Structure formats: structure tokens, C-alpha cells
Amino acid sequence: MYDYVIVGAGSAGCVLANRLSEDPDVEVLLVEAGGSDANDLIGIPAAFSALFRTASDWDHATAPEPHANGRRVYLPRGKTLGGSSSLNAMIYMRGNPVDYDEWREAGNPGWGFDDLLPYFRSSEENERGESEFHGADGPLRVCDGRARSELAQAFIDSAIAAGHPANEDFNAGEQDGVGWYQVTQRDGKRGSCAVSYLHPVSDRPNLTVETHVHVLRILFEGTRATGIAGVRLDEILEFSASREVILCAGAYQSPQLLMLSGVGRREELEPLQIEPLLELPGVGLNLQDHPNAGVIHAVDEPISLFEALNPDNLARLMGEGQGPLTSNVAEAGGFMHTREGLDGPDIQFHFAPAVFQHEGLIPGQEHGFAVGACVLKPQSRGYVALVSPDPTAKPLIVHNYLDHPDDRASMIAGVRAAMEIAATEPLAGYASGPINVPDSDSDEAILAHVAANLQTLYHPVGTCRMGTDDLAVVDPELRVRGLEGLRVIDASVMPTVPRGNTNAPVIAIAERAADLVRERAPEARKPAVGVS
């Protein structure tokens, strides 16, 4: 018997395992479907796409997307300790303050930017030191990238020449502009949430971690969650929770687990022979993500990440924490408004000194660079649904990318801006020829290019959103509405997707949620145990 059973050892699960096990009088169980994060590739920042479609990846895909030429868009998700923080590009980005104020104004007290800033700061060990916006004593190491490539510097210089302002810190209140991204790395290697939050406390006697357990359903007595059932190989396992079951399985699998457990829309569960427990119509709805597309050019000079994974560079990374393999690939970028009247930027750029195409599934075959633009505040909405009563079957995922005309307008303007930056000196001087660009700068040509090349930027959210209306899945304290002893704490509770990469926001949500679970005031918190 455990006090808390946490499902999913991704970013939120690792934070909660650390924070809840601070109390020596409670027993905490963390359950992960994947294995350990001992895979050497996880620690090599530049090699993150080499983990795609491996045992460390859930390897999801959308249903045919109507605005992406009917393609099934590949959706990688981490299946290992650390979850997607063991698989991502390590960009530390909080989003825009207006994103969180929007959550609060929608009926979620305690979730505005001023409410969350202390949690962002307390989670962070920023190498630039403590300030109004940054912390220096948290477990999550945040630092400037060590592989500042010549091509990325050229991108920044060209973007400034094209009229974009310089921005030295995207997390200090003002997002617009271009510059270098800070990353979650430690000594040049990946600093996942497993590295930062879980491993430093793995010797706590009141914390148990079970890997390779695929959770099948939540167990209930009446409307109270009492534990989970799972399977490891051919062994059925049950784990009991005296206080709470906490779902941290992410935007695709947290709603899937609720539906498999009878929580959702009766008319969809009964045909699958799943006995409904609670009618909660919002489960799986409100799916949002950042769709991305851009331009790719070849470079004659051997200055990109092509063939960087070699013995010499590997030895330099492991021995010195330096060299091109410390690159997070998306080294630089920025934010822009494509039109007036917006509350915040609607486009984010990611620059890679590499030929990153085919959704990262096929390695580039030559030196080059990519400039991507993603829609930051999509109006399109998708959903997650069950297609089988078998808990090991993958859910149906429909993103409806670019379904809303505002999203298409933002994407066209964003790709056009990426084209302009690539055609501006000094970056233009490095480009020896196009590899994958629109046929022209017309709206029609850009939209056709986007349909053929659109991919995820790996930021799915919203499918168990917080709120107080009939379609809200959890209340503002992240308790599943209508049930007892069950919370969801991950990206699925976000009402809307923040303007930026979502790993830092998930960590802040989990930090605040730990206080909610423990009924502890923020001022009573202690610094989390992290990597010394």
C-alpha cells in the first residue's frame, strides 16, 4: 500500500516523485511504462532524433490530417524515465505572461503568471544567476548552449538585419525578437527531469520506482480511486493508493487512461464494452499543439552538424562537456507578431545548423541549415479517443492542424518571414542551394509547401483541461471532477497551449501541484533536492 501512486515518470511525474517523497511519513510509488534512461544516446544533446521510433519512444501518429495532404503526422513521446524531457530539444522556455493570466481569467485562480513565477524560479538553477525572473538554487540546470555554431550566429544577424529586434532573454517578460536559446543541460549533457529531480532522490526509502509497467486502468471503489492495474510482460500487477492516484501520462495517454477506466463519454465507451463510471464529456477534447514548417538550404562549408556524431566529438563531449554534440540542434530562434492587435507573438522560430526534415526520421545527407516557424496560439482543436478496449492499443489522435483560418494565416506569414531571413545576409551567403523551400512566396505556394512538410513541434496539451465549466476535466486544484482521490498533473490540464516550448511550464505546473496535493503554502516549501 502506497500513499500516492504516480502514473508516468515524465517531467511532471519526476517532479512529483521528488516533492511528495520529501515527507518521510508517506510512501510514494512512481510507475513508468518504459525503462531506465541509461541509454547513452539520451545524454547526447545533438542525438535526440536518433531516439525516435526506438524503445524510448511511444511512437504515436495522428490520423490523416486534412490540411497536411492527408498525411499521418509522426508524434514522438518519451517512454523512459524523464519522459519527453529525455527526448526533447532541451529548450528552456516559459511562454508569455499573458498565457497564464488567460488561464486565471478563465476561472482558474492561482494559475496566473504572478502565481507561477515563484515556481518557475524555485525549479531553476540558472547559470546567469538569480534575478527578478530567474532562480539559482533549483534542481533544474538552465544554461547557455555550449555549441554556438557559426550558422546560428548568422541566423541571428540576418534576422536582426531583416528587422527583428535582438532578445538576450526570452524568459524575462518580453518575448519578441531573436537570440540564443537557453537549454536544460548539465556539463554539456542533457539535464532531463530524471537527471534533475528523480535520480538525486532515488535512494529515499519511501520512494519506489517501477519501470516497464504498462498501466491498464485506474481502480475504483465507488467513485474513489484506490489504485491502478498494470502489466509487466505477462504479469498483471495491482498497486494500491491510500491517498491519491496521480496521472502524469501526458496529453495523449492521461485521457486514454481515464476513458479505459470508464471516465468519459458514455456513447463512446459502451460500444467498446467499457462500463461507464462517470460521464465527463470533456475527456480527450481541446487537443492543441504547435504545428511547424519552414525552409531548408544546403551549405558547402563543413560547418553544420552533419556527421558530428563521430568518435572524436563523442570523446570531447564525454571528457570535457564541449563540442558540437552539446548542441540541442535548435540552437537559436525567436518570436514575432505577424499582424497587429494580438495579445502576444503568434510565431516562434527555431534555427537548426542541420538538414532537419522528414520529421527528423531520416538523417540529413549533407551540410545545411533549417529555419522553422511554428504557430504559437493555434485556434484549431483536435481530440484523443479510444478505438479499442485493449489498453495496449494506441489511442486515436486527431490534431486538426491548421483547421482554423487564423492558424493558416499565421503559418503563411511565419514561413514567409523564415524565407526572408534565409535570403538576408549573412545567412544568405552560406546557402549554396535550396533543399526544401516553397516554389514562390505566394500564399498558395507557401500553403502547399506547409501541407507537404508540416510536423509537430512536440507540444501537445489540453485534453484534460482545468476549469469549472461542464467540459472541464479537472478543477483548478487538478482533481478530476466528480471523483475522489484522483488528479491529473501534466500538460493535458493546460486550458490553452503557452507561447513557447512546454517543458518548463509542465515543471512549474507540477511544482505548484505538489503544494496543492500536500496542502502546503508556497512559503513553507524547501528547496528541492537536486544534482549537487
Task: Kindly report, residue by residue over 381-427, the tens digit of the pLDDT.
Answer: 999 999 999 999 999 999 999 999 999 999 999 999 999 999 999 99
Q: What's residue 529's pLDDT?
A: 72
Give the pLDDT score at 523: 58
Q: What is the DSSP letter of 196?
A: I
Q: Which three cell numbers stand for residue 474?
A: 479537472
Q: Give me the half-sphere count of Cα atoms (radius 13 Å) on the Cβ side of residue 72.
A: 8
Backbone angle region of 478, left / alpha / beta, with phi > 0 → left and psi within -120 to 50 → alpha: left
Q: In whole angstroms, give the CA distance from residue 241 to residue 33.
A: 18
* pLDDT band, very low/low/confident/very high, at 525 (cuts 50, 70, 90): low
Contact 119, 525 (CB under 8 A): no
Contact (CB, 8 A) for 516 and 129: no
3-state secondary structure at position 27: coil
Helix axes 97-105, 113-123, angle to 10 degrees: 130
Q: How far apart are CA 311 and CA 306, in angstroms?
A: 14
- How do 235-247 and 486-488 pair as beta strands? parallel
Mean pLDDT score, 12-23: 98
Q: Is the pLDDT of residue 369 over 80?
A: yes
Given this model, what pLDDT does residue 173 score?
A: 86
Q: How far apart are CA 177 and CA 165, in angstroms?
A: 5
Strands 124-126 and 140-144, sheet pairing? parallel
Can you tell me the distance from the alpha carbon of 364 to that of 360, in angstroms, rounded to the nearest whole number? 9
Q: What is residue 519's predicted lDDT score, i.e. its pLDDT? A: 87
Task: Say how far apart CA 110 and CA 77 lie, in whole Å.
Answer: 29
β-strands 347-352, 368-375 pairing: antiparallel
- Cβ–Cβ under 8 Å, residues 57 and 78: yes
Q: Is the pLDDT of residue 508 over 70?
A: yes
Distance in angstroms (rounded) separating the CA atoms of residues 74 and 457: 10
Question: Taking residues 9-21, what's their average pLDDT?
Answer: 98
Q: With beta carbons less than 8 A apart as the criterion, state whether 327 and 149 touch.
A: yes
- Please state the rounded mean pLDDT for residues 83-111: 97
> Rounded to whole angstroms, how far apart are CA atoms 76 and 56?
9
Distance CA 526, CA 23 (A): 11
Does residue 312 carry a pLDDT above 90? yes
Residue 530 scores a pLDDT above 80: no
Rounded-to-integer distance, Cα 358 and Cα 100, Å: 33
pLDDT of 368 > 90? The answer is: yes
Backbone φ, ψ for residue 301 (5° rounding): -75, 145
Confidence at residue 276, expressed as pLDDT on a 0 to 100 scale: 97
Calculate mean pLDDT across residues 496-515: 98
Q: Please, what sign has the CA dihedral across residues 305, 79, 71, 286?
A: negative
Strands (E), 437-515: 455-456, 486-488
Calculate what percentage of the chain has a pLDDT beyond 90: 97
Per-residue pLDDT reduced to its tens digit, 33-80: 999 999 999 999 999 999 999 999 999 999 999 999 999 999 999 999
Average pLDDT of the chain is: 96
CA-angle at 59, arms to 54 and 61, nearest 5°:
155
Catalytic positions, written as ranges = 459
Range 213-218 average pLDDT: 98
Domains of the chain: 2-524 (3.50.50.60)
DSSP 322: -
pLDDT of residue 532: 46
Instruction: Report residue 526's pLDDT band, with 50, 70 and 90 as the boundaries.
Output: low
What nine digits make up the cell of 305? 552538424
18 sits in which H/E element: helix 11-20
Choose among 254, 279, 256: nearest CA to 83: 254
Cα separation, 503 vs 229, in Å, equals: 28
Is residue 116 within 8 A of residue 513, CB to CB? The reply is no
Nearest to 247 by CA among 212, 222, 217, 210: 217
10 Å Cβ neighbour count for 226? 20
What would the pLDDT profile of 110-157 be if each residue is shown by its tens digit?
999 999 999 999 999 999 999 999 999 999 999 999 999 999 999 999
